[in-house]
């Protein structure tokens, strides 16, 4: 068994779940504890069964309840040094024995999962995505991407499943009520990934074994699930990518996704 579930995904809060027969982890805790506990119960599990929490970066939409959950349920938190230091309010709640520092590019293990973090272009201290392996199966978590580049594409190759950011539609962003400076930040090289580039990225990865995709971290103000999905599909068709074998869906901001079975 190797399963993935997006508990919540969007610019308003993120928390993801991965499980095997032996190991259960969360990636980020960017919504209230109550919401995370509820989603885990819906999946017939509970916070008490979580072995570890991985952290992508210190922005509040990824760590809102991290410290509280780690403290209350005595759960180890895996973050890189800069990320941990950049969230002192969370760090002070995490028991020293539960502060597990990893290095980007250096593989580490949690139970029967192998994890390799990779750098992402985003305006945080040392933000990262994750490649997670169980036996020979690889999945990738990649959100908060200011732009796409060769290094990222190389890191994502050979994943069977990816949770990929599809944050905004440029025209909707342009006419959204966000202040100009925030629009510049979102569309800048260390902001977020637009739908079209998500589509191009998926097209590329289908040549390297990609089978299932969940589009995630959608903006509330400048995207809609239907638009993200449609734009990605159109991009794949424009690039002559055969989508028959590919499963694509959109992660919701306020409810958990279906359980994605990798194997």
Query: Which residues of this protein are in contact with Zn ion, per CB under 5 A?
Result: 59, 61, 144
User: At closest approach, how far in Å is the CB of 191 from Zn ion?
Assistant: 9
Q: Considering beta carbons, is residue 63 or 94 the nearer one to Zn ion?
A: 63
Query: Which position has the token pair 């005595």?
Result: 74
As measured in angstroms, the least distance from the Cβ of 177 to Zn ion is: 19
The 3-state DSSP class for residue 124 equals coil
- The residue behind tokens 């599990």 is 45
> Which residues have CB under 8 Å from 220's CB, separation 6+?
10, 11, 12, 253
- For residues 205 and 218, which CB has a smaller minimum distance to Zn ion in the complex? 218
Task: Give the Cβ contact number of residue 71 at 10 Å.
Answer: 16
- Which residue, chain included where needed, has tokens 């028991």? 95
Among residues 165 and 169, whose Cβ is nearest to Zn ion?
165
**In the chain, which residue ranges form alpha helices assigned H by DSSP?**
33-42, 60-63, 66-73, 81-85, 88-91, 150-156, 170-175, 180-187, 195-206, 225-238
Nearer to Zn ion (CB atom), residue 10 or residue 203 = 10
Q: How far is the CB of 167 from Zn ion (least distance, A)?
A: 9
- Please, which residues have CB within 8 angstroms of residue 186's CB and are 6 or more apart in sequence? 167, 168, 173, 178, 192, 219, 222
7 vs 236, which CB is nearer to Zn ion? Answer: 7
Return the number of the residue (27 or 77) whose C-beta is nearest Zn ion. Answer: 27
Beta bridge partners, 108, equal 115
CA distance 215 to 224: 11
**Chain residue whose CB lies nearest Zn ion:** 59
User: Pick from 66, 61, 68: which is nearest to 79 by CA?
Assistant: 66
| Closest CB to Zn ion among residues 64, 131 | 64
């Amino acid at each position: 068994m190797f399963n993935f579930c997006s508990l919540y995904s969007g610019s308003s809060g993120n928390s993801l779940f991965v499980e095997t027969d032996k190991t259960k982890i969360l990636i980020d805790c960017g919504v209230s504890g109550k919401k995370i506990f509820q989603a885990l119960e819906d999946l017939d599990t509970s916070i008490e069964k979580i072995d570890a929490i991985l952290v992508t970066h210190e922005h509040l939409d990824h760590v809102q309840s991290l410290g509280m959950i780690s403290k209350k349920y005595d759960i180890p938190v895996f973050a890189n040094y800069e990320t941990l230091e950049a969230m002192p309010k969370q760090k002070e709640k995490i028991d020293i024995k539960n502060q597990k520092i990893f290095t980007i590019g250096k593989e580490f293990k949690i139970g029967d999962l192998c994890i390799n973090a990779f750098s992402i272009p985003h305006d945080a201290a040392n933000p990262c995505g994750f490649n997670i392996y169980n036996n020979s199966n690889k999945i990738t978590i990649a959100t908060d991407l200011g732009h796409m580049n060769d290094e990222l594409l190389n890191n994502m190759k050979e994943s069977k499943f990816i949770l990929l950011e599809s944050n905004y539609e440029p025209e909707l962003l342009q006419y959204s009520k966000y202040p100009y400076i925030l629009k510049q930040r979102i569309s800048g090289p260390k902001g977020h990934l637009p739908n079209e580039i998500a589509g191009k990225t998926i097209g590329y990865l289908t040549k390297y074994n990609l089978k299932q995709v969940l589009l995630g971290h959608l903006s509330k103000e400048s995207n809609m699930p239907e638009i993200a999905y449609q734009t990605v599909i159109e991009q794949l068709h424009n690039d002559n990518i055969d989508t028959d074998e590919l499963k694509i869906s959109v992660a919701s901001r306020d409810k958990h996704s279906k359980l994605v079975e990798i194997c």
